[in-house]
Amino acid sequence: MKLAILVNEGPYTHQASDSAYQFTKAALARGHEIFRVFFYHDGVNNATRLTTPPQDDRNIINRWSKLAEEHKLDMVVCVAAAQRRGIVDEGEAKRNGKDATNLAPGFRISGLGQLIEAGIQADRTVVFGD
Amino acid sequence: MLNIVNKSPLDRNTLQTCLDAGTGGAILLIEDGVYAATRGNAFESKLKAVQGNYKLFALGPDLDARGVGDRVSDGVTVVDYAGFVDLVTEYKTCQSWL
């Protein structure tokens, strides 16, 4: 089955990001297709490569990046939510005159249309949030 | 419909809102929502009352993370993440009550 995942909560907040990750991993292990993981609201904070948790803690961002690399996941960050929270790729840095970028590998910045498309294309959309 | 509730009923009213919606189907309790699946919790009677209309599930890893894996109410089925995935595919729609 084709599944879409929506993550509305930042990392290290409550548990939504962890739950979404564990669900996505389990769905892939079950042989399902993940059409897209969409990060919205504070969920866009899952996409900053500058996160440095203590060494004995899970690295939520790297974990997403690794999963995306292993399974060719399409992980999309909402552009408007990202701009508000300072999540920047090269295109956004150029467009908004920023001197740095911080988008982690495996993520891309795009618009809400990508969430709508995921809702249409996927058989189920599972929402994780606060 | 699969209803997913991730907050304790002692903290938020999302589980109550879910019951008020009256969709029937199933309720999966995850994260702090699993407290509602424990024996003797203040919301237990309300869940017992709707057991005819809903199948009740709770996420095992989240029960264990809170040390209440051995206190699950009768009538609640414990599932792992694979079981969570199966529930999502089994029901035609799923609603996260956030």
Task: Specify the pLDDT at position A34.
Answer: 98
Task: Specify the pLDDT at position B7.
Answer: 98
Residue B38 per-residue DSSP state: B
- Chosen for mutation from B1, B5, B6 (greatest number of chain A CBs closer than 10 Å) is B6
The tens digit of pLDDT for each residue in B28-37 reads: 999 999 999 9
Nearest to A22 among B32, B81, B94 (CB): B81
Structural domains counted in chain B: 1
CA of B88: which chain A residue's CA is closest? A124
Confidence of residue A114 (pLDDT cuts 50, 70, 90): very high
* Average pLDDT for A35-47: 98
Nearest to A19 among B30, B80, B86 (CB): B30
Q: Which residues does chain A have within 8 Å of residue B32's beta carbon, measured at their own beta carbons? A: 14-15
Smallest CA–CA distance, residue A90 to chain B, in Å, is 33
Helix or strand holding residue A76 (H, E): strand A75-78
* Residue with tokens 């058989």, as numbered in its chain: A123
Q: With 0.90 as the threshold, say if the pTM is over it.
A: yes
Tokens of A79: 């552009």
* Average pLDDT for A17-37: 98
The tens digit of pLDDT for each residue in A61-111 reads: 999 999 999 999 999 999 999 999 999 999 999 999 999 999 999 999 999
The tens digit of pLDDT for each residue in B57-90 reads: 999 999 999 999 999 999 999 999 999 999 999 9
Domain layout of chain A by residue ranges: 2-128
Nearest to B89 among A1, A15, A125 (CB): A1
> Could you say which of 1.10.10.350, 3.40.1260.10, 3.90.79.10, 2.60.120.650 is the CATH number of the domain covering A2-128?
3.40.1260.10
Task: Specify the pLDDT at position A14.
Answer: 96
Task: Specify the pLDDT at position A30.
Answer: 98
CATH code of B33's domain: 3.40.1260.10
**What was the ipTM of the complex prediction?**
0.97
Task: Specify the pLDDT at position A115.
Answer: 98
Percent of residues, chain A, with pLDDT higher than 90:
100
Q: Can you give the residue range of the structural domain that contains B87?
A: 2-97
Rounded distance between C-alpha atoms, residue B86 and residue B1, angstroms = 13
Tokens of B34: 């699993």
